[in-house]
């Protein structure tokens, strides 16, 4: 079972993603942005709220696990900055909501 670290500052959406990822068969740990880098080494995939304050995207991208971020569809600049920092994949929050398990599976297969 793959280990996912879900990094979010949004407890409501984070809870929804946590449930969806667990239902898809992943072992999920939820952390806030301040603990993200410290917890990253224990994960196979990082799922990142790209709009959470305090994320060091470049450090997280270089920490080892595969990286998948999500953002508000109206903030393409957030997506562009994440990809420039080395985040492997960034999708709108609505897509993450619908396809979380499949997106993680695709990243792991990839």
Give mean pLDDT, residues 89-93.
Answer: 98
In whole angstroms, give the CA distance from residue 89 to residue 75: 15
Query: In the chain, what are the domain boundaries?
Result: 3-109
What top-level class would CATH report for the domain 3-109?
alpha beta
Output the pLDDT for position 31: 96
User: How do residues 51-88 score in pLDDT, each as one tens digit?
Assistant: 999 999 999 999 999 999 999 988 899 999 999 999 99
pTM metric for this prediction: 0.96
Q: Give the angle 82-32-13 at the CA atoms, nearest 5°.
A: 80
Lay out the sheet containing 3-7: strands in order across. Answer: 27-31, 3-7, 45-49, 66-71, 89-92
Average pLDDT estimate for 22-41:
96
Supply 1's token pair. Answer: 């079972």
What is the mean predicted confidence (pLDDT) over 90-97?
Answer: 97
Percent of the chain with pLDDT over 70: 100
Q: CA–CA distance from 11 to each of 34, 40, 81 (Å)?
A: 15, 19, 23
Mean pLDDT of the chain: 96
What one-character DSSP code corresponds to residue 86? Answer: T
């Amino acid at each position: 079972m793959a280990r996912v670290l879900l990094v979010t500052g949004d407890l409501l959406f984070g809870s929804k993603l946590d449930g969806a990822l667990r239902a898809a068969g992943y072992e999920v740990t939820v952390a806030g942005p301040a603990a993200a880098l410290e917890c990253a080494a224990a994960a196979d995939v990082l799922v990142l709220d790209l709009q959470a304050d305090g994320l060091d995207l470049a450090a997280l991208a270089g920490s080892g696990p595969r990286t998948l971020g999500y953002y508000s569809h109206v903030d393409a600049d957030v997506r562009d900055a994440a990809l420039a920092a080395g985040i492997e994949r960034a999708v709108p929050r609505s897509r993450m909501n619908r396809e979380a398990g499949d997106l993680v599976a695709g990243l792991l297969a990839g």
